Amino acid sequence: EVIHYCGSDFLIEGRLLKKCLSAQKHVVIPDSIYDIGMGAFENNKEIESVTIQKTLVRIGPRAFCGCDNLKELILPETEAPIIISPGAFMDCFSLCDEDGFLIIYGSLFFYDYRKPAQELTIPKNVVCIEGNAFWQNLQLFNVTNPNNVKSIESHAFCMCENLESITLSENLEKIGFSA
């Protein structure tokens, strides 16, 4: 079923947004959606902003991957944070702060690997380094985690072939598989 909503066409199955079918700059996710599916907006070069409704529960893997021009993500205030899958915002360079970090709800989801940082200190407001956050970053040699980092999820530093050392937080509670 194709739904037309606020100038955007979506392929929707139940409460799952499977695919964005239009090239809008400003997208509002319908409040009937609970889940944004895998790759729903992947490589959409037109999108500049996304407004998420309170009803959204999950953003799937690679949902916004490669959306180079996505500059603004408007998240609602909710009691429970939205579940954001690893790689959901991979290569969303315009969403990163000036230091190259994309941090949502205290979790580091992506680092702009185009930044020439051989030594990197994780920002103090990060409590979790999510899966694929540093995927294939070949410029990274040393990483320091401040004491607020409690979790490094699976594959966070996957394929970082030049990474020599990671200084771990004293408060680290979890290191995921193949982190």
User: What is the structure's pLDDT at 8?
Assistant: 60
Q: 66: pLDDT confidence band, cut at 50, 70 and 90?
A: very high
User: What is the structure's pLDDT at 3?
Assistant: 55
User: What is the structure's pLDDT at 7?
Assistant: 52
User: What is the structure's pLDDT at 90?
Assistant: 94
Give the whole-angstrom CA distance, residue 32 versus residue 23: 21
As a whole number, mean pLDDT of residues 149-166 equals 93
Residues facing 73 on adjacent strands = 50
* List of E strands, the chain: 2-5, 8-13, 16-20, 26-28, 35-36, 49-51, 58-59, 72-74, 83-84, 101-104, 107-111, 119-121, 128-129, 142-144, 151-152, 165-167, 174-175
Structure tokens at 15: 């409460």
Q: Is the pLDDT assigned to residue 41 strictly greater than 80? A: yes
Q: Which of 74, 79, 78 has its CA nearest to residue 27?
A: 74
Angstrom distances, CA of residue 17 to CA of 14, 35, 80, 170, 175: 8, 6, 20, 40, 32
- The total of other beta-carbon atoms located within 10 Å of residue 59's CB is 28
Strand pairing class (151-152; 174-175): parallel
Kindly state the percentage of the chain with pLDDT values over 90.
74
Give the whole-angstrom CA distance, residue 136 versus residue 130: 14
Q: What is the pLDDT of residues 108-144, one digit of tens each?
A: 999 998 887 788 999 999 999 999 999 889 888 999 9
Q: What is the pLDDT of residues 17-26, one digit of tens each?
A: 999 987 789 9
Q: Is the pLDDT assigned to residue 2 strictly greater than 70? A: no
The mean pLDDT value of the chain amounts to 91
User: What is the structure's pLDDT at 129?
Assistant: 96
User: What is the structure's pLDDT at 5?
Assistant: 54
